[in-house]
Every structure is written in structure tokens, then in C-alpha cells.
Amino acid sequence: MILQVNDVVSGYGDMDILHGISIEVNQGEIVSIVGPNGSGKSTTLKTIFGLVNLKQGEILYYGDSINQNTPDQLVGLGLSFVPQSDNVFPSLTVHENLEMGAFISKTNKKYRFDLIYDLFPPLKEKRKTQAGNLSGGQRQMVAFGRALIMEPELLLLDEPTAGLSPLYIDMILDKVAEINKETGVSVLMVEQNAKKALKMSDRGYVLAAGQKKYEDTGQALLNNEEVAQLFLGG
């Protein structure tokens, strides 16, 4: 098991947002977290990545606690996080954005950049363009590339399709599946497009009000009538 989140309580200041959440990700899986707004989906990812105060519970990565690790240490361990918004450095070029993803690496391994450009061909032409001048979809590619350049073992995606046009939504989700298949990276993803996300996921979790409501394979959750009625809009 690559990631294990055990009974986690977390939040900002005195306010708790997650009230005892447990989640698992197995090697090579795509796992989706779905649920209504404010259910704590994004907070779950941020807690794993050490961006939100963990108050109780335990987060294990390959069986070792990462409760106390800072984000740059986590990147070194093989975790990688794509935030929902503002996930590129606008004044840096596409290539520089990727370089920042490899900041902790002592050597600039060229093949890594080639891999990213192979994965996202549009970025290769735009490698010298400032990321701030790209379209939303291309920016998302940069954010993905930045997160993938260190060849992580676990990729955390916070609503990767938020704010994208329908065309790009499918493209980005297909990319997630492709990346998972080709590189073997495990994916833990929060997604608004719950149906699409569950369809491509090995397993899924439904959160509501900071608690886990359902947990099953992606397909089973899609077929679950209760889940469909309450959370997937019928």
C-alpha cells in the first residue's frame, strides 16, 4: 500500500474540516474522492501534503509516517501535488516551470524533460513562452508536467478539470489515465465531475461534511443508487 490515511482530523485554526477520514491508495491505482462542495475533498489532499494542520490521526507513505514532513521533503520522497488553481508560475517560461518541479534534484536530467514534452507535445513548442500567457488547458499541462518531472510515485490532483472547457476536461482526464498507465504512478484525485472521475478510477470515496460516506470500486459507486441520487445528480 502506497498511502494510508488513518482517522485524520484536520482543519484551519480551531475549525476542524475533516472529522476522522480514512483513505487508502494501493500501488498503481487511480483513486477518486468525490462529494459536494465543502465536504473536505481538497482539504484531504492538502492535509496529506502538509499544507493543513493535522490534529489527529496518521498518514503513512509506504508504511512510514509522513505526519511531520514538509512539502519539499514529500517531493523528495516521491509525492507530488497539483493544486486546483494558481498552479503555474506565470512569469516563468514553460521550461522554467518544469525546472522548478525538479528543484530538489541536484542534476538537470534532460530525459525527464523529454518525457514531459512527449507526454504534452503542445508544451514543447511553447517551452519559451511565459506560463501566464497560456490557455487554461495548456497551463494545466504545465502544472502536470511540473508535478511529474521528478517521476513521483504518488500524484495528488486537486480538481484537475476545474474551470476548463468540456473539450479540455476529457483531454485532461484521459491524460491522467494515460500517465497512470504509462508511468505506473498512483493517483489520488479530487474531482467535481464525479461520474467521469469514478468511471476511470479503480476505487472511489464519497465524502460529505468532512466524513467518509461511501467507499467502493469506481464502478460499484457509479452503480450504487443511493450514491447516484445523493451525490451524482441522479
Partner 1 sequence: MVLLLQLISNGIILGCIIALGSIGLSLLYGILKFGNFAHGDMMTLGAYFAFLFKVQLGMPMWAAFVLAMLLTAFVAVIVDQVIYKSLRKSDSIILLIASVGIALILRNFIQLIWGPQNHFYDKGIQMPIQLGLGVRVKPNQILILVVTVALVIFVHLFLTKTKMGKAMRAMSDNMDLAKVTGINTEQVIKWTWVLGAVLTAAAGILLGIDTHLLPSMGWNLLLPLFAATILGGIGSPYGAMLGGLVIGVSQELSTLVIPPTYKPGVAFLIMLLMLLIKPTGLMGRSV
Q: Any contact of residue 209 with partner 1 (CB under 8 A)?
A: no
Stretch that binds partner 1, among 70-78, 114-122, 159-167, 175-183 (CB under 8 A): 70-78
Residue count of the chain, please give it.
Answer: 234
- Structure-block grid coordinates of residue 85: 488553481
- Identify the sign of the CA torsion 114, 158, 229, 18: positive
Question: Strand locations in the chain, DSSP E?
Answer: 3-12, 15-25, 30-34, 53-61, 64-65, 79-82, 154-158, 186-190, 203-208, 211-217
Q: Any contact of residue 12 with partner 1 (CB under 8 A)?
A: no
For partner 1, which is the closer residue by CB, 88 or 172? 88
Min dist CB 233 to partner 1, Å, is: 31
What residue type is assigned to position 195 of the chain? K
Per-residue contact track with partner 1, 13 to 52, x per CB under 8 A? ------------------------------------x-x-
Min dist CB 72 to partner 1, Å, is: 5
Single residue of 12, 64, 67, 90 touching partner 1 by CB under 8 A? 90
Q: Any contact of residue 104 with partner 1 (CB under 8 A)?
A: yes
In angstroms, the CA 162 to CA 209 distance is 21
User: What burial class does residue 107 get, using C-beta atoms within 10 Å of its C-beta: 0-12 exposed, 13-18 middle, 19+ buried?
Assistant: exposed
Residue ranges that bind partner 1, judged by CB under 8 A:
49, 51, 70-72, 74-76, 81, 83, 86-92, 96-97, 99-101, 103-104, 108, 146, 150
